[in-house]
A and B are shown apart, each in its own frame.
Chain A
Amino acid sequence: MNERTLSYALLVPAFVIVIATTIYPLAYSFVTSFREWDLTKQLRPSGFVGLQNYAHAATESGFQNSLWVTAIFVVTSVILTVVLAMSLALLLRRTGRLHTFTRIILILPFAMSPALIGVSYRFMFNPEFGVLAKGLGAVFPALEGTPWLANPDLAMAILVITDVWHWAPYMTFMCLGGLASVPRETEEAARIDGASNLRIVFGIILPQMKGVLLVTAVLKTIFALKMFDQVVTLTGGGPGTSTETMAFFIFNVGFEWFDMGYASALAWILTIITMVISAWYVRMLLSERKMATA
Chain B
Amino acid sequence: MAEVRLVDIEKKYGSFLAVPQQSLTIEDGEFLVLLGPSGCGKTTTMRMIAGLEDITAGDIQIAGERVNDKPPKDRDIAMVFQNYGLYPHMTVRQNIEYPLKLRKVNKAERARRVQDTADKVELGTLLDRRPSELSGGQRQRVALARAIVRTPKIFLMDEPLSNLDAKLRVTMRAELKHLHHELGVTTVYVTHDQMEAMTLADRVAVMREGRIVQLDTPKRIYSDPADLFVAGFIGSPSMNLIDGAVQDGRFIAEGMDLPVSLPDRDEVVFGIRPEDLELADGDTPIKGRLYALELTGESTLVTMRAGKTSVCARGHADFEAPINAPCHLAPKTGARFYLFDRATGQRLDG
What separation, in Å, do the CA atoms of A204 and B52 have in the docked complex?
A: 17
| B101-130 near A? 1/0 per residue, CB < 8 Å | 011000000000000000000000000001
**Beta-carbon contact of B98 and A183 below 8 Å:** no
Given contacts A195-B102, A294-B130, A294-B133, contact A186 B85 (CB under 8 A): yes
Which B residues are CB-close (under 8 A) to A199?
A: 102
With contacts A193-B73, A195-B73, A294-B133 taken as known, whether A188 is within 8 angstroms of B81 at the C-beta atoms is: yes
Number of chain A residues close to chain B: CB under 8 A? 20
The number of chain B residues touching the other chain, given as a range, is: 20 to 34
Q: Which chain B positions have C-beta within 8 A of A292? A: 88-89, 132
Q: Is A207 an interface residue (CB 8 A)?
A: yes
- Residue pair A192, B103 in contact (C-beta under 8 Å): no
Give chain A nearest CB distance to B71 CB in angstroms. Answer: 7
CB proximity to B under 8 Å, residues A73-128: none
Q: Which chain A residues in 184-213 approach chain B with CB under 8 Å?
A: 185-186, 188-195, 199, 204, 207-208, 210
User: Of A191, A193, A204, which one neighbours B146 at CB under 8 angstroms?
Assistant: A193
- Once the chains bind, are A194 and B52 in contact (CB under 8 Å)? no
Query: Which chain B positions have C-beta within 8 A of A208?
Result: 88-89
Are B87's CB and A186's CB within 8 A?
yes
Question: Which of B73, B86, B87, B99 is most buried by chain A, counting CB atoms within 10 A of its CB?
Answer: B87
With A195-B102, A294-B130, A294-B133 given, is the CB distance from A183 to B73 under 8 Å?
no
Is there contact, CB below 8 Å, between B103 and A194?
yes
B130 cross-chain contacts in A, Cβ below 8 A: 291, 294
**A188, chain B: closest CB distance, angstroms:** 6
Could you show 30 A-B contacts with beta carbons less than 8 Å apart?
A: A183-B83, A183-B85, A185-B82, A185-B85, A186-B88, A188-B81, A189-B85, A189-B86, A189-B146, A191-B52, A191-B71, A191-B73, A192-B50, A192-B51, A192-B72, A192-B78, A192-B79, A193-B73, A193-B98, A193-B99, A193-B102, A193-B146, A195-B98, A199-B102, A207-B87, A207-B89, A210-B89, A291-B130, A292-B132, A294-B133
**B residues with CB within 8 A of A:** 50-52, 71-73, 77-79, 81-89, 98-99, 102-103, 130, 132-133, 146
- Interfacial residues, chain A to chain B (CB-CB below 8 A): 183, 185-186, 188-195, 199, 204, 207-208, 210, 291-294
